[in-house]
Structure 1
Amino acid sequence: MKQLIQNLKTGETLLQDVPAPQVRRGQVLIQTRRSLVSLGTERMLVEFGKANLIAKARQQPDKVKQVLEKIQSDGLMPTLEAVFRKLDQPLPLGYCNVGTVLAVGEGVTDLRIGDRVASNGPHAEVVCVPRNLVAPIPDGVSDDEAAFTVIGAIGLQGIRLLNPTLGETIVVVGLGLIGLLTAELLRLNGCRVIGLDVDETKLQLANQRGIIALNPAAGTDPVKAVLSLTNDVGADGVVITASAKTDELMSQAARMSRKRGRIILVGVVGLNLSRAEFYEKELQFQVSCSYGPGRYDDQYEQQGQDYPLPFVRWTENRNFQTILQLLAGGQLDVKPFVTEVVPFADYNAIYGQMGQANPSGGPSIASLMTYPEAVELSSTVVLREAQYGGGTGTVGLIGAGNFTGATLLPALKAAGANLKTIASAGGLNATLLANKHGVAESTTDYRQIISDPAIDLCVITTRHNSHARMVVEALRAGKHVFVEKPLAIYDEELSAIIDAQQASGRTVMVGFNRRFSPHAQKMKALLGGERSDEVPMNIVATMNAGFIPANSWVHDRAVGGGRILGEACHFVDLITFLTGSRVVCVCMNAMGRQPSETSDSASLLLRYENGSTGVINYFANGSKAYAKERVEVYSQERTLVLDNFRKLTGYGFRGFSSLSGRQDKGHAEQMKQLIQRLRTPADSQPLIPFAEIMNTTQTTLGALHSQREGRWIDVHTIGQLQTQAVVAEAV
């Protein structure tokens, strides 16, 4: 199947062959019939992509600040590489989709195969969309009309926030497609509508629909005109649907409003507000968020937890339904807004001329794309022909997120890995990464990797709640496994992994990369190498992790497991490596009067078998300008200080004072050694003993038990494991 994408680095818009998505729980698989091009939003993406680097920076000053902070903490080259990687990630285009249901996921009971539906799916021949972002299309509403559902809901949500009453005068600033739809919906609501735009064609279209249309570019002063039309009272409300870089539209909106008027921002404008203009009139101002309540709420959109109607009357899905009802009843007529209809394959007829006149001579208002009736629904796309055989160290990757593309794939490629297949749920990310890094295939069905006899190693980098399940599946299929941390987020998952590993005898490796950093290796050598376990030491590790919003999946106990499980585990493993010993008990204290298991500002106390102690301070409330990671080791009247894996300083060591270099957290070295071991005889020693991997996972799980129970936890009790059972299969 094909999907339309936008390259933010070059501005190029192109069709990409991608594997068809797999229907998932709570989601709907849809074959597209129509999609509407949101000319305003998508034109901004195209123009941003075509801009040079300096122009891109000027458009996003907040991102520039983040870049400067990252340079200060991580160094120039790692920061520049991260910036260019971000720009090199094409984006899917489109969010106004109409199609036919091909399949429904588990838990979806109110839709059937063959139903016509509207959704916020992208421009692609087949899309997979969460149920709460899908609305059935009533009989009598054409595909062309239904394509306006989502963009109509954007205007409708602005009106919901404005809360207009019958007879009020409302000004709509900007008569693009959203502005015209907003004005029409306001008129249906019994309002007197004044529309402002600089394009005469749009103004004529508005006039034909009973809207008072004014052109500021023709010499009309918009503020004086609105005041004159309202007997110097001012508008009851202003809805801004335009896009502008200056603050002038906000200033005009304030000056044309009546005392205690309301201003709603649907578009994108400068927001340096004049306090005097808002203060004197006690104006209300609110920014409208997309389609309505539920937008960007993972629990609503991805997990399907609807808001109860008596308390949240208008969610984004109910806004979709409202637009469709208005279309079905004939109150909302969108046919005059359609200026061009082109086949999906001819997308460049729209994107190549974006912002220019349409073939009829006027500006494009709404462009529709039609899709072929027959679509190939293959879950795998072969991007290049290559021969692979089992036992040659062939690798399959499950997961195609930022970390995979930025770190793991380059490290695997540098290590000379035979990269055969990469899987992602949607297919696009996997295909883009496969093209970039020379991977032969992309797929949306991860089980094809697990069942492929040519693949020896499964690399798993999906969300945390899927790690344990996929590890067990891969081990049972006879694969070696590398899984990004955490290995498991629940005790019983850890037990299942141990059973599967013991039964298969295959290698399980976790992304505990810090021990492979040249700085960590130097620390180990200075502390006595393999004999470092003979003398107890004190180690303090601090992670200035940075803030992540509370609604992120990472904080969800059932999905991400929390940042202690997902990130602090790095330093449990590092301290284990440096001490040459394993944790026997752990105690965690988190910040807050009633901290939860997933608190991300906490201190862990570790007690080791050889008498060493570790303290891990994992803090999310520090400055981004400060280094992210710092490790201090105290032993035999000597001290080592590692600063952000860029500089190691020694105190009291004969012949050593410091080691500096580019930030290196060990990812590349771990992948290099992993691929080397994969190609060597089976009796080679593991990179990290399985007993240590289990012990680290037990420790972080034990830390959550400690927080919940308020006591020290013996880590060997986690997952009902016995110490001797772990030791028995340590290699």
Structure 2
Amino acid sequence: MKQIAQNYKSGELTVLDVPAPVCRPGGVLVRSLYSLISTGTEMMKVTEASMSMVGMARARPDQVKKVIDQVQQQGLVTTYKKVMNKLDSYTPLGYSLCGVVTEVGKGAEEFKVGQLVACAGNDQALHAEYNWVPVNLCAKVPDGVAPEHAAFATVAAISMHGVRRAEVQLGETAAVIGLGLIGQLVIRLLVAAGVQAIGIDPVPDRCRLAEKAGAVAAGAPDDLDTVLAELAKITSGRGADHVFLSAGGNSNGPVEAAVKLARDRARIVDIGKMKLDLPWNAYYEKELDVRFSRSYGPGRYDTRYELEGIDYPAGYVRWTEKRNLESFLDLVARNELDVATLIDGVFPFDEAAKVYGDLKDGTLKAIGVLLEYPVPAEDAPPPATKTVLPGAKTPYVRTNEKGRQRIAVGFVGAGSYASSMLLPHLAKLPAADLAHVATTKSLSAVNAQKKFGFSTASTDADSVFEDESLDAIFIVTRHATHAKLVCRALATGKAVFVEKPLALTREEADQIAEAIATTGNDRLMVGFNRRFAPLLGSMRKGFGAAAATASTRYLVNAGPLAKDSWYLNEEAEGSRFTGEGGHFIDTLSWWADSPVEEVYAVRGPEKGDVQATFLFANGASGTIAYLTGGNARFPKETMDATGGGRSARLDNFRSASVWSGRGKSATKARGGQDKGQRSEMEAFVEAVRTGGPMPISADSLLATTRATIAVGESLLSGRPERV
């Protein structure tokens, strides 16, 4: 299928051939009829992508701060590679469309094949021929509503939520500053609610359009006195009960105008994205109530609502984002809201790149722009969920011979970690053929294919497991999926690499052990990369045999999680330590050359903090302090070892020192921080190619996994737990 995408580094905007998404549980597969270009939000993103690196930094100071913190923790080289990897990727555009349901996933039976639906979401309702949309971001279109009008539903929901945030009442008066698409819809919603509205915008045509939609008056900001005079007539001099800020840009003019328009104790609602430097005295004197309106409504940015389909009870949250979509469609169906006059152009989907270019350079001056998608013939095959790279070599049929020159590799998942820390190393190995990659998002698969040369890109994980040409399968997906996918991959007889954690529960660990025993396939590797780090290896060599009885301490300055991180969903994905702690336990176990026998853990002062003590089978001991409340620029990982008259310290994989007798040896990393991913990939590929032992035994992998799980058990029980 085709999809619009933009490279944020180069600014290139193009229509790509990508694999169509598969229909997953909890949602529906939708064939697009019309999608709406947001001339505000989307064009801002398109404009940012054409800026220089300095311009991008100025536009996103929040991201610059994150990068600076990463440089302090991870070093300049590592941070640069991660940032460039993220920038030099195709990103999707679009978030509002109307289409036809072509397939219904389990749990989405409220919809039917052939049904007309309006869809929302900047990861779901994209400018693409097909989209998978979860149930709470999808609304049935009532009979009589044209699909090109229903395509406005998401942007209308944004406007509607803004109006609801103001808590308007019948007979009140409101001013709308900024009469772009959002502002025009706000005017129409206010009029439908019985509120007298005036508008302000520097473009005369937009002012006249607002007046035709029912605004009492509309004028330019440089003629504010005229607008204020009209407002005084309809409010007996009181001023507006509500002022909506739906403009954009870096001017503080809208904020300053708002205080002049507002009555005493009025509500100011910010819907747009603009400079918001409030003149304190003016806002204080009128005791203005400033409110923000967050996107489509309650449910936005809540993964459980948007992706898992868990609705909020109407008795507690009357207007969710889905109910806002439905409310807009109902108003259009009852002819109480007109959007036809907002449509300035309908263009074929294939011309999308030109349309964006014309909007950007001002050739096309428009408020509402729709893209129309071709209707496939009745006998057309279903959309392909695989794409093959032009010129790709024909995959060979996998054999079990040892010592072959090259191996074929397949990936299930290719997110940020895989794309920045695994695939760049694999792509450079002469013995590895990157043959097949599957991700749930079409562009993620194509990004991996174009960057690293995968022959085949897919949105269906089944296609990787069924690919007979592969020698090894990498599983780099969310934590909750690992154990099930590992068991399935082992059953294929291929070598398996899975990122940590191997499992989230003892039951899952037992299932993997059973799969190994049943299939006879123990060709398993987990991404415990620290033991492969060159600095750590040289430090252990310098420490010598005393490591087997040493006492070790690992301090992890984990830091807080972003509010939208999927790690926060502990019910589904396990605790943060369960997901990451295996790295550090494996390192201590490797250092002591012994598995963990007993664990005792206590919580720290911050949520997510863990402090755990480990006793190893050979008598060695170690502690891990996994802390989330430290300074973002303090080194993330430090490790100390003591024993046999020797001491050693690893400082964030950037330097290592060993003290022995009266001497001290110190080593610094060359070329930036190296946590061992490159050496780990080399070791795994070589083991698969030659048929030699896996870099870490399956027994060790399972022992570390069970020790990680035992940490959580000890936190709950308050006592030591046997592994």
Q: 1:244 to 1:426 in 2, by over 3 A?
A: same
Determine helix, strand or coil for the equivalent of 2:694: coil
Instruction: State the partner residue of 1:47.
Output: 47
Task: Work out whether 1:71 is the aligned partner of 2:81.
Answer: no
Instruction: State the partner residue of 1:8.
Output: 8
Q: Which moved more, 1:9-18 or 1:547-556?
A: 547-556
Task: Work out whether 1:127 is the aligned partner of 2:142.
Answer: no
Task: Work out whether 1:455 is the aligned partner of 2:473.
Answer: no
2:70 aligned partner, one-letter code? K
1:539 & 1:357 partners in 2: Cα distance?
Answer: 64
TM-superposed deviation, 1:234? 2.1
Superimposed CA distance per residue, residues 438-460 of structure 1 (whole angstroms, 9 cap, x where no aligned partner): 11110011111111111010000
TM-superposed deviation, 1:550? 6.0
Instruction: State the partner residue of 2:312.
Output: 307
Q: 1:242 to 1:226 in 2, by over 3 A?
A: farther
- Select 1:393's aligned residue among 407, 415, 425: 407
Equivalent pair of 1:450/1:479 in contact (CA under 8 Å): no
1:210 & 1:379 partners in 2: Cα distance?
Answer: 47
TM-score scaled by length of structure 2: 0.94
TM-superposed deviation, 1:279? 2.0
2:554 & 2:220 partners in 1: Cα distance?
Answer: 61
1:354-365 pair list within 5 angstroms: 354-355=359-360, 363-365=365-367
Instruction: State the partner residue of 1:353.
Output: 358
- Select 2:527's aligned residue among 508, 511, 514: 511
2:446 aligned partner, one-letter code? T
TM-superposed deviation, 1:224? 4.6
TM-superposed deviation, 1:63? 1.6
Instruction: State the partner residue of 1:526.
Output: 542
TM-score scaled by length of structure 1: 0.93
Instruction: State the partner residue of 1:367.
Output: 369
1:201 & 1:157 partners in 2: Cα distance?
Answer: 26
Q: 1:651 to 1:275 in 2, by over 3 A?
A: farther
TM-superposed deviation, 1:87? 1.4
Instruction: State the partner residue of 2:163.
Output: 159
- Select 1:664's aligned residue among 669, 674, 692: 674
Superimposed CA distance per residue, residues 170-221 of structure 1 (whole angstroms, 9 cap, x where no aligned partner): 0111001110011110011111101010111111111222214443355434
Instruction: State the partner residue of 1:564.
Output: 577
- Select 2:420's aligned residue among 393, 399, 406: 406
TM-superposed deviation, 1:708? 1.2
Equivalent pair of 2:409/2:473 in contact (CA under 8 Å): yes
TM-superposed deviation, 1:65? 1.8
Determine helix, strand or coil for the equivalent of 1:705: helix
Superimposed CA distance per residue, residues 65-115 of structure 1 (whole angstroms, 9 cap, x where no aligned partner): 222222222222222222222211221110111111111111112111111
Task: Work out whether 1:292 is the aligned partner of 2:302.
Answer: no
Q: 1:318 to 1:638 in 2, by over 3 A?
A: same
Determine helix, strand or coil for the equivalent of 1:352: helix
Instruction: State the partner residue of 1:83.
Output: 83
Determine helix, strand or coil for the equivalent of 1:175: coil
Superimposed CA distance per residue, residues 477-530 of structure 1 (whole angstroms, 9 cap, x where no aligned partner): 1111000000011211111111111223241100000000001111221222xx
Determine helix, strand or coil for the equivalent of 1:77: helix
TM-superposed deviation, 1:60? 1.1
Determine helix, strand or coil for the equivalent of 1:657: strand
2:195 & 2:543 partners in 1: Cα distance?
Answer: 78
1:449 aligned partner, one-letter code? V
Q: 1:706 to 1:2 in 2, by over 3 A?
A: same
TM-superposed deviation, 1:275? 2.7
Superimposed CA distance per residue, residues 8-53 of structure 1 (whole angstroms, 9 cap, x where no aligned partner): 1122211111111111110111011111111111110111011111
Equivalent pair of 2:15/2:353 in contact (CA under 8 Å): no
Determine helix, strand or coil for the equivalent of 1:350: helix
Give 4+ residue runs of structure 1 displaced > 6 Å after superposition. Answer: none
Determine helix, strand or coil for the equivalent of 2:536: helix
2:84 & 2:582 partners in 1: Cα distance?
Answer: 29
2:420 aligned partner, one-letter code? A
2:331 & 2:625 partners in 1: Cα distance?
Answer: 56
Task: Work out whether 1:378 is the aligned partner of 2:384.
Answer: yes
1:566 & 1:508 partners in 2: Cα distance?
Answer: 18
Q: Which moved more, 1:320-329 or 1:424-433?
A: 424-433
Between the aligned residues of both structures, percent identity stands at 36
Determine helix, strand or coil for the equivalent of 2:358: coil
1:99-498 pair list within 5 angstroms: 99-120=99-120, 121-216=125-220, 218-221=222-225, 224-225=228-229, 228-229=232-233, 230-355=235-360, 363-374=365-376, 377-384=383-390, 385-389=392-396, 390-391=398-399, 392-416=406-430, 417-498=432-513
Equivalent pair of 2:533/2:674 in contact (CA under 8 Å): yes
- Where do 5+ consecutive residues of structure 2 fail to align? 400-405
TM-superposed deviation, 1:331? 0.6
Equivalent pair of 1:196/1:222 in contact (CA under 8 Å): no
1:239 & 1:298 partners in 2: Cα distance?
Answer: 28
Determine helix, strand or coil for the equivalent of 1:626: coil
TM-superposed deviation, 1:532? 5.0
Equivalent pair of 2:31/2:131 in contact (CA under 8 Å): yes
Determine helix, strand or coil for the equivalent of 1:251: helix
Instruction: State the partner residue of 2:716.
Output: 708
TM-superposed deviation, 1:276? 2.1
2:589 & 2:495 partners in 1: Cα distance?
Answer: 23
- Where do 5+ consecutive residues of structure 1 fail to align? 716-731
2:597 aligned partner, one-letter code? V
Q: 1:58 to 1:358 in 2, by over 3 A?
A: closer
1:711-726 pair list within 5 angstroms: 711-715=719-723
Determine helix, strand or coil for the equivalent of 2:426: helix
Equivalent pair of 1:523/1:578 in contact (CA under 8 Å): no
1:577 & 1:129 partners in 2: Cα distance?
Answer: 45
1:434 & 1:645 partners in 2: Cα distance?
Answer: 31
TM-superposed deviation, 1:654? 6.5
Determine helix, strand or coil for the equivalent of 1:482: strand
Superimposed CA distance per residue, residues 513-558 of structure 1 (whole angstroms, 9 cap, x where no aligned partner): 0000001111221222xx456x411111011111114663213234
TM-superposed deviation, 1:559? 2.7
Task: Work out whether 1:696 is the aligned partner of 2:704.
Answer: yes
2:416 aligned partner, one-letter code? N
